Chain A
């Protein structure tokens, strides 16, 4: 596919999304708004895991911090704009602070560390009853005063803009190269003069900022919060969206957010029984089976110019065959 065709396809995708308010009823428009809001937290995983190689199981914690900071402040009468600013600041600072120890961890240890953070935030929101109203839920949160269609265009612009920015960052900037160098080989990156620890801290903070912005928008749009929205299972749901989208692909992230938010609702047509959950699970499994690189991998394959795909790869000398048994030892 040529570069021009790729741009036409992208523009078509955005144009189709932009016509949604004229094509669907309020229910589906609401689902689209939620999906676009969720795409922000999937972007946060794209930055942290996709670009930098840091696996996080605690993204729901950042979403919860952003949402509850906005929610609690707005209920207490703080202006929504100021509450939103605090809602972005608090998770970003938390991300930075979490990054201080977490950036020193790798692999399973990092995953468990971030999981612990998610659990900690969930428990905190549940137990700080005097501040968050805990399990009773926080109702009456003030919004930005948009109607549903304005909300849609607002989050669409935000999600598409961020998607473009992340794709640009990934493919066209030096920072993108730096992030990937840390992802693929920390030692080489360090030897090349890259401050690996600082890069990881930056990734944690940026990721927390994006996740926090998802929380702020969720709180402002839905106008209620309960701690159950930010439990660890939600972190895994966001991770699933990211994996189906193709970790590291912002375009895949927005598409998978839309699909994985809409599909469970569409499957209500199968009846309000366990059948729809089964169908949903099978669909996700099939996507992972046939598209191991996720939707992003498929997009990359389609966007790669045909010429490059059919050009034979340079032949690499085959490695010498390994001995099947140790020399000098009777088999």
Chain B
């Protein structure tokens, strides 16, 4: 009996001793921060949303493995925004009120991001808009919303500069799709080109559902510009390029950055190559890319292939989503998870990501100086190269 009591006492003491380090650990234990990520996981932009989800997961895995968010671990909660404002509004509401996320990232299309940003702003949940480039999303949404990608006005300023360097032209035709990208592109690029002394001889928006571009191509022939400058999103851009090539047009063609590299080349690489299509890009895999970019590509592409079931060459949408998770981790490490502190830390971000160096201006838009921007050309074989 005495032996049993002694054994019990020894066991308790031993157990207590063994438990001490565990208790000490518990005092500095990691806290989990829920990060809501809204992406188009269904619908006609899911081609981009699904790989971007893989990129976000990769970032969270790295943050958690290397302790990049200090004492915090990231728990990503995904919601489908479908590139629609109504769906994204619902997704943001769900993430905040049901999943209780403490910070959000997303969406893809600007109209959808505007919707989610309003929900985040009302709930005082910090949010990073990492892909949508419409001007002033963060500025208009208020102090909890940050835009970590260059805005349309800045992109187009950069595109216009490069256009004037790379092409010799005095007249231009502007063609846009009648959507958020197209219309802001049209407004900005026209203003910039005219300021630089370029005459805009044609300026036409085309309805986003109208796949027949032949009448506009006839107008281009009539106006005879030195260059055609267009902002048309993925599916429509392929229709336009096919019809432009079929019409045997020789006028040089420049595209704003939305048609996704590689996917677009799969659709109309041959025709785009024949035209020597040049377009803007934040990123293209090439031998001269930075070590950070090389490391990202090496880690991301095998994982994306495994998750998506097919090879997926890296595009900038993947990298900015990865960087957005890293930005959040960096801010968490510096300031903790309280919404006001986190928002203040994001505002003071000075973070070197894979794609850019991230710093925010007073309106919480990212400073464009941190971004590289290049022109890419479709080669006659349907490949892609950076325009030197």
Contact = CB atoms under 8 A, between A and B. Distances in A.
A222 B114 CA distance: 11
Interface stretch (A43-51, A82-90, A172-180, A271-279): A271-279
B295 interface: no
A326 B69 CA distance: 89
B41 A272 contact: yes
B86 A229 contact: yes
Interface string A203-238: 000000000000000000011101111000000000
B70 interface: no
A126 B182 CA distance: 11
B42 A272 contact: yes
A273 B41 contact: yes
B41 to A, nearest CB: 5
B225 to A, nearest CB: 23
Given A27-B93, A127-B178, A136-B135, A226 B42 contact: no
Given A136-B136, A226-B180, 4 more contacts: A134-B184, A136-B137, A137-B111, A272-B42
Contacts of A30: 93, 97
Given A136-B110, A226-B114, A31 B187 contact: no
A305 interface: no
B84 A228 contact: yes
Contacts of A135: 110-111, 134, 179-181, 183-184
B98 A226 contact: no
A139 B143 CA distance: 13
A229 B84 CA distance: 8
Interface residues of B, number: 40
B156 interface: no
* Interface footprint category on A: 20 to 34
Q: Name which of A134, A137, A226, A229 has the most chain B CB atoms within 10 A of its CB.
A: A137
Contacts of B118: 139, 222-224
A95 B192 CA distance: 41
A195 interface: no
B187 A228 contact: no
Given A26-B97, A136-B134, A226 B115 contact: yes
Given A136-B180, A224-B115, A268 B94 contact: yes
Interface string A112-135: 000000000001001101000011
Nearest to A274: B42
Contact of B178 (A31, A123, A226, A273): A123
Contact of A134 (B122, B140, B183): B183
B80 interface: yes
19 contacts: A27-B94, A27-B97, A27-B98, A123-B207, A134-B180, A134-B183, A135-B180, A136-B114, A137-B110, A137-B114, A140-B140, A223-B118, A226-B85, A265-B94, A268-B79, A272-B42, A272-B79, A272-B80, A274-B46
Nearest to A143: B122
B55 interface: no
A16 to B, nearest CB: 21
B282 interface: no
Contacts of B117: 139, 224
Contacts of B67: none
Interface of B: 41-42, 46, 78-80, 84-87, 89-90, 93-94, 96-98, 110-111, 114-115, 117-118, 122, 134-137, 140-142, 178-181, 183-184, 187, 205, 207
Contacts of B80: 268, 272-273
A199 B84 CA distance: 37
Nearest to B79: A272
**Contact residues of A: prevailing secondary structure:** helix
Contacts of A25: 97-98
A176 B96 CA distance: 45
Interface of A: 25-28, 30-31, 123, 126-127, 129, 134-137, 139-140, 222-224, 226-229, 264-265, 268, 272-274, 276-277
A16 B371 CA distance: 55
**Contact residues of B: prevailing secondary structure:** helix
Nearest to B87: A264
Nearest to A26: B97
A273 B42 CA distance: 6
A268 B92 CA distance: 13
A37 to B, nearest CB: 12
A235 to B, nearest CB: 13
B94 to A, nearest CB: 5
Nearest to B180: A135
Nearest to B116: A224
Contacts of A273: 41-42, 80
A47 B89 CA distance: 29
A226 B84 CA distance: 10
A139 B140 contact: yes
Contacts of B205: 127
B104 to A, nearest CB: 14
Contacts of B115: 137, 222, 224, 226
A265 B207 CA distance: 30
Nearest to B38: A272
A139 B114 contact: yes
B94 A226 contact: no
B110 to A, nearest CB: 7
Nearest to A226: B111
Nearest to B42: A274
Contacts of A139: 114, 117-118, 140-141
A15 to B, nearest CB: 24
B178 A126 contact: yes
B178 A223 contact: no
A276 B110 CA distance: 24
A134 B185 CA distance: 12
A265 B136 CA distance: 29
A149 to B, nearest CB: 13
B98 A127 contact: no
A227 B134 CA distance: 14
B90 A277 contact: no
Given A31-B90, A223-B118, A136 B41 contact: no
A267 to B, nearest CB: 10
Contact of B85 (A27, A28, A127, A229): A229
Nearest to B109: A228
A224 B97 CA distance: 19
A31 B92 CA distance: 12
A271 to B, nearest CB: 9
B96 to A, nearest CB: 8
Contacts of A223: 118, 122
